[in-house]
Amino acid sequence: MDLVNHVLSDIEVYGYHGPMLNYLFVDEVQDLPPATLYLISKIVTNGVFYCGDSAQTIAKGVNFKFRDIPQMFS
Domain spans of the chain, in order of start: 2-72
* pLDDT tens, N- to C-terminus, the chain (74 residues): 899 999 999 999 999 999 989 999 999 888 888 888 889 988 999 988 988 887 776 666 667 777 777 777 66
Per the CB < 8 A criterion, the answer to whether 31 and 52 are in contact is yes
The DSSP code for 54 is T
Q: Which of 24, 5, 3 is nearest to 13 (CA)?
A: 5
pTM: 0.75
Amino acid identity, residue 60? K
CB 35 within 8 A of CB 4: yes
- Other CB atoms within 10 A of residue 70 CB: 8
Count of all residues that appear for the chain in the document = 74
